[in-house]
Amino acid sequence: MKIKTQEISNRIFEEKDVKLFVKRIDLTHEFISGNKWYKLKYNLLEAERNSFNTLLTFGGAYSNHILATSVLANENGFKSIGIIRGERCADLNPTLKLAKEHGMQLHYVSRKEYQFKQTSKFLSVLRNKFGDFYLIPEGGSNKFALKGTSEIITKNDSQDYICCSVGTGTTLAGIINSSSIKQNIIGFPAIKGFKELEKEIKSITTKSNWQLNNDFCFGGYAKTNSLLINFINNFNKNQLIPLDAIYTGKMMFGILELIAKDYFPKGSSILAIHTGGLQGNKGMNQRFGFNLP
Task: Point out which residues bind ligand PLP (CB under 6 A).
Answer: 33, 35-36, 64, 139, 141, 165-172, 244, 247-248, 275-277
Beta bridge partners of 59: 84
- Residue 174 CB, nearest distance to ligand PLP (Å)? 8
Q: Which class for 276: exposed (0-12), middle (13-18), buried (19 or more C-beta within 10 A)?
A: buried
For residues 112, 146, 71, 186, the Cα torsion angle rounded to the nearest 10 degrees is 80
Nearer to ligand PLP, 109 or 166 (CB): 166
Work out whether the CA dihedral 114, 117, 122, 125 comes out positive or negative. positive
Minimal CB distance to ligand PLP: which residue? 277
How far apart are alpha carbons 171 and 279 in whole angstroms? 19
Q: Which residues of 71-105 are buried (b: 16+ CB within 10 A; e: fewer)?
A: bbbbeeebbbbbbbbeeeeeeebbbbebbeebebe
Strand 161-166 with 184-189, pairing: parallel
- Asked if residue 259 lies in contact with residue 13, where contact means CB atoms within 8 angstroms, the answer is yes
Nearer to ligand PLP, 35 or 213 (CB): 35
Rounded to the nearest 10 degrees, the angle between the axes of helix 64-75 and helix 94-101 is 10
Nearer to ligand PLP, 95 or 183 (CB): 95
Residues for the chain: how many in total? Answer: 293
- Residue 11 CB, nearest distance to ligand PLP (Å)? 28
- Residue 169 CB, nearest distance to ligand PLP (Å)? 5
Nearer to ligand PLP, 33 or 213 (CB): 33
- Residue 156 CB, nearest distance to ligand PLP (Å)? 22
Nearer to ligand PLP, 235 or 247 (CB): 247
Nearer to ligand PLP, 64 or 183 (CB): 64
- Residue 217 CB, nearest distance to ligand PLP (Å)? 12
- Residue 43 CB, nearest distance to ligand PLP (Å)? 13
